[in-house]
Amino acid sequence: MATTLFDKIWDEHVIRAMPDGKTLLHIDRHILHDITSPQAFEGLEAKGRRVRNPELTAATEDHIVATTPGRDETTYAPGAEFIRAMRKSAEEHGIRLFGLGDMQQGIVHVIAPELGIALPGSTHTCGDSHTCTVGAIGALAIGVGTSDVEHVLATQTLKLHKPKRMRIEISGALGPGVTAKDAILHIIAAVGAAGGNGHAVEYAGAAVRALAIEARFTLCNMSIELGARIGMVAPDAATIEYLADRPFTPQGEAWDAALAHWRSLATDDHAIFDKEVAIDGGEIAPTVTWGTSPEDAIPVTGAVPDPATISDPGRRATKERALDYMGLTPGTPLEGLAIDMVFIGACTNSRISDLREAARIAEGGRVAGGVRAMVVPGSSTVKRQAEAEGLDRIFAAAGFEWHESGCSMCCALGDDLVAPGTRCISTSNRNFENRQGPGGRTHLASPAMAAAAALAGKIVDVRKA
Amino acid sequence: MEKFTRLTAIAAPLPNDNVDTDAIIPAVSLKRVGVDITALGEYLFHEWRFDPSGKPIEDFVLNKPQFAAPGILVAGRNFGCGSSREHAAWALLYAEVRCIVAPSFGDIFYNNCFRNGVLPAIVRGDDHAGLMRDVTEADGAAPMTVDLEAQQITAPSGEMYGFEVDPAGREALLSGLDDIAMTLEHEDEIAEFQHRHAAVRPWLYNTRFRVKASD
Ligand code: SF4
- Cβ–Cβ < 8 Å for A53, A26: no
Second CATH level (architecture) for the domain A1-285: 2-Layer Sandwich (3.30)
Do residue A26 and residue B190 have CB atoms under 8 angstroms apart? yes
- Tell me the per-residue pLDDT of A393-422, one tens digit each, with 9 for 90 and over: 999 999 999 999 999 999 999 999 999 999
- Tell me the per-residue pLDDT of A87-132, one tens digit each, with 9 for 90 and over: 999 999 999 999 999 999 999 999 999 999 999 999 999 999 999 9
**Predicted pLDDT at B105:** 97
- Cβ–Cβ < 8 Å for A22, B172: no
**Predicted pLDDT at B215:** 40
Is B73 part of any domain? yes
Distance CA A139, CA A223 (A): 14
**Predicted pLDDT at B28:** 84
* A125 vs B: CB within 8 A: no
| CA–centroid distance, residue A410 to ligand 1 (Å) | 6
- Cβ–Cβ < 8 Å for B109, B47: no
- Tell me the per-residue pLDDT of A365-391, one tens digit each, with 9 for 90 and over: 999 999 999 999 999 999 999 999 999
Question: Do B139 and B66 belong together in one domain?
Answer: yes
Mark which residues 368-397 of A lie under 8 Å from B by CB. none
Q: What residues of B are in contact with residue A224 (Cβ under 8 Å)?
A: 82, 108
Query: Ligand 1 test: best mutation among A34, A108, A130, most atoms within 8 Å of CB?
Result: A130
Question: Do B197 and B99 belong together in one domain?
Answer: no
| CA–centroid distance, residue A347 to ligand 1 (Å) | 6
- Tell me the per-residue pLDDT of A61-96, one tens digit each, with 9 for 90 and over: 999 999 999 999 999 999 999 999 999 999 999 999
Q: Residue B176: how many CB atoms within 10 A of its CB?
A: 12
Do residue B210 and residue A96 have CB atoms under 8 angstroms apart? yes
Residue A221 has pLDDT above 50, yes or no: yes
B30: pLDDT confidence band, cut at 50, 70 and 90? confident
Question: Do B47 and B152 belong together in one domain?
Answer: yes
Do residue B190 and residue A155 have CB atoms under 8 angstroms apart? yes
Which residues make beta-bridge pairs with B101? B74, B121
**Predicted pLDDT at B31:** 85
Amino acid occupying residue A153: L
Question: Do B119 and B212 belong together in one domain?
Answer: no
B34: pLDDT confidence band, cut at 50, 70 and 90? confident
Question: Do B160 and B57 belong together in one domain?
Answer: yes
- Cβ–Cβ < 8 Å for A95, A89: yes
Report CA dihedral (A38, A39, A42, A48) to the nearest 10 degrees: -120
Q: What residues of B are in contact with residue A52 (Cβ under 8 Å)?
A: 190
- Cβ–Cβ < 8 Å for A421, A388: no
Question: Do B129 and B191 belong together in one domain?
Answer: no
Mean pLDDT for all residues in chain A: 97
Q: How many domains does chain B have?
A: 2
- Which residues 6+ apart lie within 8 Å of A71 measured at CB? A65, A100, A404
Is B200 part of any domain? yes
Q: What ranges do the domains of chain A cover?
A: 1-285, 302-464
- Which residues 6+ apart lie within 8 Å of A431 measured at CB? A289, A291, A292, A293, A294, A296, A442, A443, A444
* Longest alpha-carbon distance in chain B: 69
| CA–centroid distance, residue A222 to ligand 1 (Å) | 11
Residue A447: name the closest of A322, A325, A321, A362 by CA. Answer: A362
Looking at residue B12, which CATH number applies to its domain?
A: 3.20.19.10
- For residue A142 and ligand 1, the question of a CB distance below 6 A is answered with no
Phi, then psi, of B73 in degrees rounded to 5: -115, 135
Q: Do domains A1-285 and A302-464 have the same CATH topology?
A: yes
Question: Do B18 and B98 belong together in one domain?
Answer: yes
Query: What DSSP element (H or E) covers B205?
Result: helix B202-205
* A234 vs B: CB within 8 A: no
**Predicted pLDDT at B132:** 97
Q: Quick one: closest CA in A to B54, which residue?
A: A438
Q: Measured between CA atoms, how close is B141 to chain A, in angstroms?
A: 23
B42: pLDDT confidence band, cut at 50, 70 and 90? very high
Distance CA A49, CA A336 (A): 57
Mean pLDDT for all residues in chain B: 94
Count how many Cα atoms sit within 13 Å of the Cα of residue A438 in the half-sphere of its side chain.
Answer: 17
Q: What is the 3-state secondary structure (H, E, C) of chain A?
A: CCCCHHHHHHHHCEEEECCCCCEEEECCEEEECCCCCHHHHHHHHHCCCCCCCHHHEEEECCCCCCCCCCCCCCCCHHHHHHHHHHHHHHHHHCCEEECCCCCCCECHHHHHHHCCCCCCCCEEEECCHHHHHHHHHCCEEEECCHHHHHHHHHHCEEEECCCEEEEEEEECCCCCCCCHHHHHHHHHHHHCCCCCCCEEEEEECHHHHCCCHHHHHHHHHHHHHHCCCEEECCCCHHHHHHHCCCCCCCCHHHHHHHHHHHHCCCCCCCCCCCEEEEEEHHHCCCEEECCCCCCCEEECCCECCCHHHCCCHHHHHHHHHHHHHHCCCCCCECCCCECCEEEECCCCCCCHHHHHHHHHHHCCCCCCCCCEEEECCCEHHHHHHHHHCCHHHHHHHHCCEECCCCCHHHCCCCCCCCCCCCEEEECCCCCCCCCCCCCCEEEECCHHHHHHHHHHCECCCCCCC
Which of A28, A132, A323 is best to mutate for the B interface (most B CBs within 10 A)? A28
Mark which residues 315-334 of A lie under 8 Å from B by CB. 315, 317-318, 321
Residue B214 has pLDDT above 70, yes or no: no
- Cβ–Cβ < 8 Å for A275, A414: no
Question: Do B103 and B200 belong together in one domain?
Answer: no
Q: Could you tell me how many CB contacts below 8 A there are between chain A and chain B?
A: 221
B2: pLDDT confidence band, cut at 50, 70 and 90? confident
Do residue A20 and residue B172 have CB atoms under 8 angstroms apart? yes
Show the domain range for B141.
Answer: 6-177
Q: State the complex-level ipTM.
A: 0.95
Q: Quick one: closest CA in A to B179, which residue?
A: A151
Q: Measured between CA atoms, how close is B9 to chain A, in angstroms?
A: 23
- Cβ–Cβ < 8 Å for A111, A98: yes
Query: What number is the average pLDDT over the span A134-146?
Result: 97
Q: Residue B147: how many CB atoms within 10 A of its CB?
A: 15
Which residues make beta-bridge pairs with A382? none
Do residue B180 and residue A15 have CB atoms under 8 angstroms apart? no
- Cβ–Cβ < 8 Å for B105, B122: yes
Q: What residues of A are in contact with residue B193 (Cβ under 8 Å)?
A: 15, 26
- Cβ–Cβ < 8 Å for A59, A152: no
Question: Do B124 and B194 belong together in one domain?
Answer: no
Q: Measured between CA atoms, how close is A343 to chain B, in angstroms?
A: 18
Which of A161, A256, A409 is best to mutate for the B interface (most B CBs within 10 A)? A161
**Predicted pLDDT at B82:** 93
- Cβ–Cβ < 8 Å for A71, A181: no
In this complex, which of B20, B26, B111 lies closest to A145 when CB atoms are compared? B111
Distance CA B145, CA B135 (A): 12
pTM > 0.90: yes or no = yes
- Cβ–Cβ < 8 Å for A410, A327: no
- For residue A429 and ligand 1, the question of a CB distance below 6 A is answered with yes
CA dihedral (A180, A181, A186, A191) positive or negative: positive
A135: pLDDT confidence band, cut at 50, 70 and 90? very high
Q: Residue B6: how many CB atoms within 10 A of its CB?
A: 11
Report CA dihedral (A129, A130, A131, A133) to the nearest 10 degrees: 160
Q: At what angle do helices A80-93 and A38-46 cross, to 10 degrees?
A: 50
Look at the domain A302-464 and name its fold: Aconitase; domain 3 (3.30.499)
Which of A37, A129, A413 is best to mutate for the B interface (most B CBs within 10 A)? A129
- Cβ–Cβ < 8 Å for A97, A59: yes
Distance CA B22, CA B20 (A): 5
**Predicted pLDDT at A406:** 98
Query: What number is the average pLDDT over the span A235-245?
Result: 97
Query: What DSSP element (H or E) covers B146?
Result: strand B144-147
Q: Quick one: closest CA in A to B76, which residue?
A: A314
Residue A345: name the closest of A246, A445, A272 by CA. Answer: A445
Question: Do B46 and B98 belong together in one domain?
Answer: yes
- For residue A65 and ligand 1, the question of a CB distance below 6 A is answered with no
- For residue A410 and ligand 1, the question of a CB distance below 6 A is answered with yes
Q: What residues of B are in contact with residue A258 (Cβ under 8 Å)?
A: 201, 203
Residue B213 has pLDDT above 70, yes or no: no
Is B1 part of any domain? no
Question: Do B139 and B161 belong together in one domain?
Answer: yes
Q: What residues of A are in contact with residue B194 (Cβ under 8 Å)?
A: 26, 53, 156
- What is the percent of chain A with per-residue pLDDT over 70, rounded to a whole number? 100
Q: Which residues of B118-146 are buried (b: 16+ CB within 10 A; e: fewer)?
A: bbbbbbeeebbbebbebbbebebeebbbb
